[in-house]
Copies of this chain bind each other. A is one copy, B any other.
Amino acid sequence: MKLLGGAIAAVDHGGSLGRASALFPHAPQPFVDLSTGINPHSYPLFDLPATAQSRLPEEGRLRELAEIAASTYGAPSAAHVAAAPGTQILLPRVASLVRSGKALVLGPTYAEHARAAAIAGHAVAEVDNFDALAEADLAVLVNPNNPDGRIIERDRLLGLATRLRSRGGLLVVDEAFMDVGPTEQSLAGDVGAGGIVVLRSFGKFFGLAGIRLGFALADPVTVERLEAQLGPWAVAGPALEYGIRALADAEWQAAMRQRLAADTERLDALLRKSGVPVAGGTNLFRYLSLAEAPTLFSALGERGVLVRHFADRPQVLRVGLPGSDEEWHRLEAALAAWASRRGDAPKEIVR
C-alpha cells in the first residue's frame, strides 16, 4: 500500500505537443503523437448550427443526449446519466459523494483518481490487490485499466459494491476505455441499486477529446446531486451536438471497433518484429513493460514519435494507435532504427 499524501499536485499526462517539443527539440515535426489512448480516427466532423455556439445549450437537447447515452452505454434510463464537460471535471465531485474517509485506488492506474480523492478530503492510498478495496469508504478502479488493460470481472465488482454499500461506501468504476470492450464486464446496467458510479468518456473512443464530454452513470439521486454541482449548461453546444449524433450512430461504432481491433493487431505485430513484447492494453493503446523502456522512449521521441512514459515506473510505456499511413511508417522506421542500434549495444547494458 502506497500512501499518496502529496497527490494534490498536478500530474503529468500524455497528449501535450508543447512538452514533447521541449523534450525532443530536434525531432522531425509534426510529432506522431501516440502518447494518449485517444482514437486517431475521429468521428466525422460536421458543420454545427451557428446556434450551437451562440445560444445557451438547450435543456431539451441535454435530455436527448442523456437518453442516447443511457441506451448506448446500457444504463437503466436517462435519469441514471449525468453529462459533464469531460469526465475529468467530475472526478472531485464524484469523490465528494461520500464523507471524507479512506479512499483506495487500485493501482497503478490513471493518476487523477488519487489526486481527485485527495482534493475531496480523503486519505488516499493506492493498493495493488483488488480485495483490499473492500476496506475503503471510496474505492476507485479503472476497468479496463489504464495503462495495463487489466480487467476485473463484473461479478467481483458487484460483490465489492455490495460490501461497500452496506457500510455507506461508494465504488467508482472508470470505464474510460470500455467502448472497445469487454462490455459484458461493464457495470453500466448495475448502477440503479446505488453505491456505484460508472464513468464513461466520450472523447477517447470517438476521437473527439477536444470537445470535452463525459458521463457519470449512477442512481437517480446521485445523478441529481452531481447535476446540482455542475449547474445548468455544463455541456457546451458543440459537445451536445456531437454527443447526440455519434452516440446514436451504432453503425459507425461497430465498424470502428473492428478497425481498432485490426489496428491493434498491426501494432502488436510491428512491436514484436522489433523485439518489443506487448504486456497488455486495450484496443486503444498497448502496454509495454521492458528494461529498455527509457532508451526506447528516447529513441522514438528523437524521431518524432511520442509515446507515454511514467515517471515512477521507468520500465513501462504506453503506445497509442497511429492514424495515417505516414504515422504507421514513421513508427515502423523509428522502431527499426532502435532495434538495429539495440543489437549493437553492449550486452550488459541491454541485460
Those of A229-244 within 8 Å (CB) of chain B: 229-239, 242
Given contacts A88-B231, A92-B229, A229-B92, contact A56 B15 (CB under 8 A): yes
B56 near A89: Cβ-Cβ < 8 Å: no
Chain B neighbourhood of A85, CB < 8 A: 85, 89, 212, 234, 236
Chain A interface residue count, Cβ-Cβ cutoff 8 angstroms:
55
Instruction: Tell me if A254 counts as interface (CB < 8 A to partner B).
Output: no
Q: Most chain-B CB neighbours within 10 Å: which of A8, A85, A242?
A: A85
Give the shortest distance, in Å, between A16 (CB) and chain B (any CB): 6
B232 and A55 contact, CB distance less than 8 A: no
- Which residues of B are found within 8 Å of A19, using beta-carbon distances? 59
Q: Are A89 and B230 in contact (CB under 8 A)?
A: yes
Query: Measured between alpha carbons, how far is A208 from B52 in the docked complex, in Å?
Result: 9
Is A36 positioned at the interface, with any CB of B under 8 Å from its CB?
Answer: yes
Contact call B18/A42, Cβ cutoff below 8 A: no
Determine which of B209, B211, B233 lies in contact with A88 in the assembled complex, contact meaning CB atoms within 8 Å. Answer: B233
Contact with A210, one of B11, B52, B116 (Cβ below 8 angstroms): B52
**Distance, CA A168 to CA B230, complexed state (A):** 26
CA distance A17 to B51 in the complex (A): 12
User: Chain B residues near A17 (CB, 8 Å)?
Assistant: 58
Quick one: copies of this chain in the complex?
2
Map CB proximity to B onto A112-145 as digits: 1 under 8 Å, 0 otherwise. 1001100100000000000000000000000000
Tell me how far the C-beta of A206 lies from the nearest C-beta in chain B, rounded to whole angstroms. Answer: 9
Partner of A58, one of B16, B89, B228, B238: B16
Taking the nearest CB of chain B, how far is it from the CB of A10, in angstroms? 7
Alpha-carbon distance A85/B89, docked complex (angstroms): 10
Q: Do B92 and A53 touch across chains, with their CB atoms under 8 A apart?
A: no
Asked whether A54 is an interface residue with its Cβ less than 8 Å from the other chain, the reply is yes
Q: Once the chains are docked, how many angstroms separate the CA of A187 from the CA of B253?
A: 49
Residues of B contacting A52 in the complex (Cβ-Cβ under 8 angstroms): 210
Contact B55 A234 (CB under 8 A): no
A91 at the interface (CB under 8 A from B): yes
For the complex, is A45 an interface residue (Cβ under 8 Å from B)?
Answer: yes
Residues of A participating in the B interface, judged by any CB pair closer than 8 Å: 8, 10-11, 13, 15-19, 33, 36, 38, 42, 45, 50-60, 85-86, 88-89, 91-92, 112, 115-116, 119, 203, 207-212, 228-239, 242
Q: Can you give 9 contacting A-B residue pairs, CB < 8 Å?
A: A18-B60, A38-B55, A42-B54, A54-B209, A85-B89, A85-B212, A112-B232, A210-B237, A212-B236
Given A11-B232, A16-B59, A57-B210, list of 17 further CB < 8 A pairs? A8-B228, A15-B55, A38-B56, A51-B210, A52-B210, A53-B210, A53-B238, A55-B209, A55-B210, A56-B203, A56-B209, A85-B236, A112-B231, A210-B236, A212-B236, A236-B238, A236-B239
